[in-house]
Every structure is written in C-alpha cells, then in structure tokens.
Amino acid sequence: MRTPPDLTERIGPMFAQRPTDDSAYEFYDAIREQSPFAIPGLNMVCVGKYEHVAAGFRLPGLVKQDPERRDRKHPGWRDRIGLAQFYQSLLWHNGDTHRRLRGLVNKAFTPKRVADLSGGVTEIVTGLYRDMAAAGREADLARDLCSRIPMHVIGNLVGVPTADQFELLPHVLDFLLVIDPVHAAEATERAVASGQILHDYFLDLVARRRRSPQDDLASALIAVRDDSAALSEAELIQTVYLLFAAGFETTSNMLGNGCVALLTRPEAAERLRQGHARAFTEEVLRHDPPLHFVSRIAEEPVVIGDTRIEAGTEVVFLLGSANRDPAAYNDPHAFVLDRSRTPLASFGFGSHFCIGAGLARLEGEIVFGTLLEHFPGIALSGKPVRRKTFNMNGYECVPVTLS
C-alpha cells in the first residue's frame, strides 16, 4: 500500500496560474500517473485517474462537508444568510438527510418536467438569436447568449417572472464568485450582499406560491409530500438557491465552451450541420468540462487504487483529468463525436450525481443544434477570453460576427 506522493513542488506553478485553460490538460497528463498525490500543506489529496474518480465518488468513507462539519472548520459561516442557505442545501448533506431531501426534490424535478421544458428552451434561444441579430453584426456569445439561457431556463423552471430574472442575474453572478476557491476578498463582500438579496427574493417568491400555486417548480416543491416529512420552509428556499447556484454558471460555461468548439473546429461544425447535436454536446462536456474539481472529506482512512488516504484529508476529484485519461478514452485530447459511451466525469458519480444533467444536455442540444442554422456565416471576430475563475471553466467573452 502506498502513501500519496507529495507533489507540492509541481502543483505550485499550476496553482499560481489559472488552471482551466489548455495548459491544465497538459498538467493533468504530467501528474495523472502519480495520482492520487498529496499537497500536505493544504491537507489535500488529488485524484486524477478516471477509474479512481469514478470509484472514489462512491466510497462511503468520503463525505461532504455538511453543516455540522462546517461549524467545526469555519465557525460563523451561518451568519451570512445567502451563503448559509447554499451551504445548508442538499448538495452539502450526507446519508439519510441527503437521501430524504434529494428524494423530495426528485419528485418535483421529474424527467417529464425537464422534457416539457424543450419547447420553452427553444423559444428562449430563438428569442435571443432575434435580439442578437437586431443588435447588429457583432455579438459576444458569452454575454448575449450563453449566460442568458440558463438564467431564463432556471428562472422559468422555478417560477421567477421574466422581468425579475434580469434583476437577479448580477446577484447570481456575484454570489457564485465565492464558490470558486480563489477569489478576491472584495468578491466575498459582494457575494454576501447578493446572497442576502437572493434570499429575500426567494422567501417572497415561496410565500407568493404558497398563497397562489402556479405550474412551476417552486409550487411543485411546496406541494411535494412524503410519508415522513415535506420540505420545510427553510429547505424550500435552500433548494431554490441551489438550483440557481448549481445550474447557472455550469450550463452557461458548457454553452460557451461548445460555441468555441464549433467555431474553431470545422469538421465538428460540419457534423453539427448534419444533425449530431447530442453527440457534440457529450463531447463538449467531456473535452472541456464546466467544472474541474469536486471535493470530499475523508471521514475515516480510505483506499483509492493502491493508495491509503488518512482520515481528515480533503480529497479532490480532478474531473478535467478523468475526462482526458487515455485509459478511459482513446486519443483523449482529440475532439471526436463518435466515442464509446464511457460515462462522463463531468456530472460526478454516485449519490450526488447532478440532478440537472438532463436539463443541461437539453440546453446544449438545442443551442448547438440551431446556432449554425440561424447564423450560417457566424465566425469568431477575435480571440475568446477565458474566465479567471479557478474551478468553473468557461469563457467570459466569445466575440463573433453574425453574418
């Protein structure tokens, strides 16, 4: 049994730069074979091989930093209302509490509800194409298309009226900054202020839906019952919070990463014109995933592959590395539409597997399947600019001419 080798020296330069650009994938190639490896100064072990990531997510000894554990590590976190709501949501629970909350949310967030959104998503996307065309020949796909789609889709799903969606957008973006591990102190203050605004808004929305239910997820969550317990008022707000936090920037980044892929890879664009939007979406999610890391805490000593990891260690799964592991995908750096169906690491594995994966895929298929049809001559007008975030992987600017 080996102990994880200390790769602090090699990790340093990577942490000093922003890892989520092409150099991240070179870096993953360089360290994957030594994974799991340790960064003792951070009490952290990183896992980069696909096989280990897929198995590691399912290890019972690896748990989420739930509210009780967070109390021990970061006392005072509950004082900041917006962050407190997010960190109490089902994403951050383990065992029976997680099973209960996820079961209740699944009753409202059904595959049928997602499938029924298809027409609405197409309408949203077509409306945004119209706005872009009306605004002139130049556009920024990140700003004008990719970040607006998830806002409208989740807003409509939850039941936030369209006018309010525009007002909430900057607050959602500010709030999300703090989820990234490397952010300026100033971002924390903005995130806390925006968190409070979102909290007050959702509280009011739930109260309105209680008085007068609509055909939306907020009303469905209120109506959900199981034998033992319905969602409490606090759990309801936390869940709505989580859907915005989990489904917003991830999807917006997937759409941006896919737009850049289709504008820079003529062969893939040609396949899209022939109607392969589903396969294209899968390959975008694999090749340049919107999230690069997901972590757990080792509650007890665990073994991953031939490596023993001590209790109390933070275990970080490198999703971007798993998706480019040659042991799981042939020629992993190539962008290829006809791959075997090895499940992607991009949505995680096991009990916390992404609830919104179906919705995200639907949004991808609709955008990638229609963009070239609407704008046959669309082309990059400058170099796309990557976001400066550390974990969230996407573009902040994708300049194009539309004609």
Binding-site ranges for ligand HEM (CB under 6 A): 90-91, 102, 154, 242-243, 246-247, 250-251, 254, 290-291, 294, 346-348, 352, 354-356, 359-360
Tell me how far CA of residue 153 lies from CA of 141, 150, 356, 363, in angstroms. 17, 5, 12, 9
State the DSSP code for 6. B
How far is the first Cα of the chain from the last one, in angstroms, to the nearest whole number? 60
Nearest to 263 by CA among 95, 383, 343: 383
Which residue, 38 or 294, has its beta carbon nearer to ligand HEM?
294
Q: Which is nearer to ligand HEM, 7 or 216 (CB)?
A: 216
CB 314 → ligand HEM: shortest distance, Å? Answer: 13
Computed from CA positions of residues 132, 134, 137, 138, in that sequence, does the dihedral angle turn out positive or negative? negative
**Which residue matches tokens 């550390």?**
390
> What are the counts of helices (DSSP H) followed by strands (DSSP E) for the chain?
18, 12
Min dist. Cβ of residue 192 to ligand HEM (A): 22
Helix (H, G, I), strand (E, B) or coil at 77: helix
DSSP state, 152? Answer: H
Instruction: Provide the minimum distance between the beta carbon of 340 and ligand HEM in the complex, in angstroms, as a whole number.
Output: 20
Residue among 279 and 402 whose Cβ is closer to ligand HEM: 279
Residues present in the chain in total: 403
Q: What are phi and psi of 33, to 5 degrees?
A: -65, -25
- Our CA dihedral for 390, 391, 396, 397, rounded to 10 degrees, sits at 90
Q: Tell me the closest approach of the beta carbon of residue 88 to ligand HEM, in angstroms.
A: 12
- Of 41 and 60, the one with the shorter C-beta distance to ligand HEM is 60
DSSP string spanning 10-40?
HHHHHHHS--SSHHHHHHHHHHGGG-SEEEG
Residue 37 backbone phi and psi in degrees, to 5: -125, 160
Closest to ligand HEM by CB, 162 vs 403, is 162
Question: Nearest approach, Cβ of 189 to ligand HEM (angstroms)?
Answer: 26
Q: Is the Cβ–Cβ distance between 283 and 337 less than 8 Å?
A: yes
Q: How far is the CB of 76 from ligand HEM (least distance, A)?
A: 23
Q: Which residue has the CB atom at the shortest distance from ligand HEM? A: 356
Least CB distance from residue 8 to ligand HEM, whole Å? 25
Q: Shortest Cβ distance from residue 248 to ligand HEM (Å)?
A: 8
Cβ-based nearer residue to ligand HEM, 92 or 375: 92
Residue 28 or 347: which CB sits closer to ligand HEM?
347
Question: Which CB, 138 or 314, lies closer to ligand HEM?
Answer: 314
Cα 240 from chain centroid (whole Å): 15
